[in-house]
Amino acid sequence: MSKSSNETSDKSPTEATISRRLNKILDTRIENDKDTLDALKQLSTFFKENTLENRRRLRSKIEKRSLAMNEDFLWSFRGVKMTLDSVYSDVMAMNESVKEMTNRLHTTKTQTYQLIDQTTKLQAESQKLCLQQDIVEAFLSSFQLSPAEQAILRGSHEVPITSEFFTVLERVQNIHTNCHTLMQSGHQTAALEIMEQMALYEEAALEKLYHWTLSHCRNIEFGETSFLLTQAMACLQDRAHLFKYVMDEYCTSRRSVLVRAFICALTQGGPGGTPKPIEMHAHDPKRYIGDMLAWLHQTIPTEKENLLTLIKGCHKTDISEQVQEALSNITEGVCHPLKVRVEQILASETKPTVLYGVASLIQFYENIIGQVVPNSLLQSTLREMSELSRQTFLMTLENQVKQHLREPLETSRADLAPAAGISRVLSLLKEVLAVANISEGRQEDLKKIVSCVMEPLQQAVMESAARFSAMDMAVYLLNCLHQMHDTLSLYEFMDDRLERIQAQSDAQLDTLASEQASSLVANLNLGAIYTILQEHERGSLSSVPGMEPENVKKFVTKLDSFLLMPDVLLLPQINLITNGSQRSLAQRRAFEVIGAIYKQLYEAVHEPSNNYQNPGELMKRTPDDITQLLGGL
């Protein structure tokens, strides 16, 4: 019983295990098991037929095949082992050699330690010295000149200046400037020595540059200034005395060139005869002087441009005053030949119009050239010539006026018209004013010209009029003043003169009106009536002798006759007034006196206290009627 139980217990686990395995095998999907598929694929290489004998031999074949594979593997690894053993032997040998070399190296290192230390120190010292050498070389290149550069600065004066000279000179100046920085860094001694050395180099270079520039300025013929000369002037501006000497030499050279060119333009003309020599037009004063001044006006700006080109690099100081002085010096040479020729023209010309044209022309160019070369001898010369030409013009004009007025101003007593001499003088005045009217600054000129002509003319007219009676003199003066007024009214700036002439004309008109009124009062018997009207104070006016109605009626009758024939009682001198408006004005003022007396008489007659019978019949016309009738005469 117990034995049976044990067997049952022993078989049950085995069976269970087998069962699990079988189940596992049955459940296993071979197509998903890569190892199984590989094993089966390998098995197919030697398991050809599925027979009982082959199945029985399968195990032994697999074991033999496995044994053969292991033998092949072992054989293959035998060569590897032998190779590894050889490598091991070599490595061991190398290890021994390394140990030996290490021991030898240690021994050598111990022996050469001091030598290596000394070598290291020497290498560090060598690097330090190389660095110091580089610093010294950089210092020398920055603060010293090379022998070639020194030769450029200190060469002979005959050696031409090139652009390299200015490059080296600029480097000297830069070194001198950089020494200030070196001094601030604590190297005062070295900086001062270098500055002194550079100062010597600079002085030698500027001395050479001065002589070269001076020589170059002497040979300038046509004002062509090169770039090197401009650079030279820019370098010399720091030395005021050298700069001034060069400028003086340049001005001297250009002054002589300008004088020669001016004389050539006067006598020879331009290249090939075009333009023609200026002196060919010496017979025409205005053109002759105008051509000379125009030539100067064209040439002087060119000289100024050349001068500015010469000093265009000078920006460190203000040299504008020196430029003006230099330009003044250059133009001094032409002053004398110009002045001599202008004085010859002024001395030979006798026409006031031509002289005034010359004076205006000189003044015009004085203003223009004075803007280019102010405060110069040329401007002063032009100012003197302008003043001289104006004085000559005024003197000539005054002489011609006196010549026209030298003979008495004869006029016919029949017409009391201005004399022929007055017309000639006024015609001369018109000719001169026609020229003056187109010139600059003509306001002052017009006044001087008019004063120069009109004052002696008016004085001569007054002297000539003194030979006439009062009435004739008034008409004659009125006619002369009218002609003067008409002449001056054509021009500007004559208001003051015209007002004075108008005042003189009004005075003569007052004289004529007064004389005409006195004549009318006498012819109309108004003198006694006017006196009585002024002196009567009380009582009946009709009872006063001379104011009887009969006398009043006689006056009215004469007044009616005058109104019908006014020319009978008008003075003949009134009709000799050439200006119709002045003639009418003189008559109207005289008629106004008659009208005022008539009005006073009319009021007195119509006053009841004066006891005039039928005053309306006695004086039918009212004062307004009389005023209207007199105004229509």
Half-sphere exposure of 151 (CA within 13 A, CB side): 3
Residue from 180, 202, 201, 204 nearest 192 by CA: 180
CA 231 – CA 168 distance, rounded (Å): 13
Q: Are 223 and 302 in contact (CB under 8 A)?
A: yes
Q: Are 198 and 175 in contact (CB under 8 A)?
A: yes
291: buried, middle or exposed (CB in 10 Å: 19+, 13-18, 0-12)? buried
Q: What is the pLDDT of residue 333?
A: 92
351: buried, middle or exposed (CB in 10 Å: 19+, 13-18, 0-12)? middle
Least confident of 8-22, 212-226, 595-609: 212-226
- Please, which residues have CB within 8 angstroms of residue 587's CB and are 6 or more apart in sequence? 513, 516, 570, 574, 633
3-state DSSP assignment of residue 88: helix
CA 139 – CA 152 distance, rounded (Å): 21
CA 376 – CA 369 distance, rounded (Å): 10
CA 286 – CA 346 distance, rounded (Å): 11
Total residues found in the chain within this entry: 633
Token pair 């008008």 is found at 570
Q: What is the pLDDT of residue 383?
A: 93
Question: What is the token pair recorded at 265?
Answer: 């333009």
CA 296 – CA 288 distance, rounded (Å): 13
Q: Are 332 and 373 in contact (CB under 8 A)?
A: no
Q: Beta strands of 269-418 (E only): which ranges? A: none
Q: With pLDDT > 70 as the criterion, what percentage of the chain qualifies? A: 91
What does the pLDDT look like over 568-621, one tens digit per residue?
788 888 888 888 888 888 888 888 888 888 898 888 888 888 888 888 788 888
What does the pLDDT look like over 482-529, one tens digit per residue?
999 999 888 888 888 899 999 999 999 999 988 888 888 888 888 888
CA-based radius of gyration for the chain: 68
444 pLDDT higher than 80? no
Q: What is the 3-state secondary structure (H, E, C) of 124-135?
A: HHHHHHHHHHHH
Task: Specify the pTM.
Answer: 0.62
Instruction: Indicate the DSSP class of residue 49.
Output: -
Other C-beta atoms closer than 10 Å to the C-beta of 182 total 19
Q: What is the pLDDT of residue 224?
A: 45
What does the pLDDT look like over 330-352, one tens digit per residue?
999 999 999 999 999 999 878 88
Q: Are 594 and 518 in contact (CB under 8 A)?
A: no
CA 290 – CA 268 distance, rounded (Å): 17
Least confident of 118-122, 188-192, 315-319, 367-371: 315-319
Q: What is the pLDDT of residue 437?
A: 59
Report residue 408's pLDDT band, with 50, 70 and 90 as the boundaries: low
